[in-house]
Amino acid sequence: MKKIGFICGSLRTGSYNKVLLNEMIRLAPKDWDTSVISFKDLPLYNYDEEGESEADSVTLFRESIHNVDGIIIVSPEYNSGIPGPLKNAIDWASRTKHKDDKSPLINKPFAVAGGSPGNIGTALGQMQIRQSLLAMNAQVMAGPKLIVGRVHEKINEDTHNLDDERTQKHINSFLSSFNNWVEKF
Ligand SMILES: Cc1cc2nc3c(=O)[nH]c(=O)nc-3n(C[C@H](O)[C@H](O)[C@H](O)COP(=O)(O)O)c2cc1C
């Protein structure tokens, strides 16, 4: 079994990216043990509050990353970039509680996906997410990319599921590539 964590870049209850994330979990390879890692309880990053006295939510968030074999981030973009709460989470994960610890981001396989109501939804935001992860020497899958434009039109109004066949095909090939990517490390 591969342990694969999913992080949603949106905290919104009705988030389209949460719907996309849930569809990815539904279509995930059978040998994946999936989990959702939330950053909603993290405080705003502050150097004065890191280290031995850091909040429990920070320690837990880092441990959740450490305990999985790979992570898929599914996120919107805000103002052509990385959503602030997600960047905050990456910044916390890049630091350590004890001086001699290593960040769980180092060498961790990652992939980035996302959807937005716009046509080129999340292409720019995804680039920034990859850039921040690469700064920590995470193993970020370069491609294939999963960029779901006009995402709201691909979600069934009644079931609230993403049941667009073309998108499901893209998801399947993205997940299969990430499966191979995780096996490399
Ligand atoms: C602060 C803010 C900035 C946004 N900037 C962009 C943007 O640059 N590009 C884009 O495609 N959508 C942008 N949007 C629209 C989001 O893609 C849209 O709200 C989307 O539904 C958010 O994802 P979610 O449904 O997963 O919460 C922005 C939304 C907010 C709230």
Segment 130-157, tens digit of pLDDT: 999 999 999 999 999 999 999 999 999 8
Candidates 146, 91, 93; CA nearest to 121 is 146
pTM above 0.95, yes or no: yes
Two tokens, residue 181: 């990517």
Q: What is the pLDDT of residue 120?
A: 82
Q: What is the pLDDT of residue 2?
A: 98
> Is ligand 1 within 6 A of the CB of residue 80?
yes
Distance between Cα 59 and ligand 1 center (Å): 29
> Is ligand 1 within 6 A of the CB of residue 15?
yes
Residue type, 158: D
> Is ligand 1 within 6 A of the CB of residue 78?
yes
Structural element, H or E, at residue 125: helix 123-135
Residues of the chain with pLDDT under 50: none
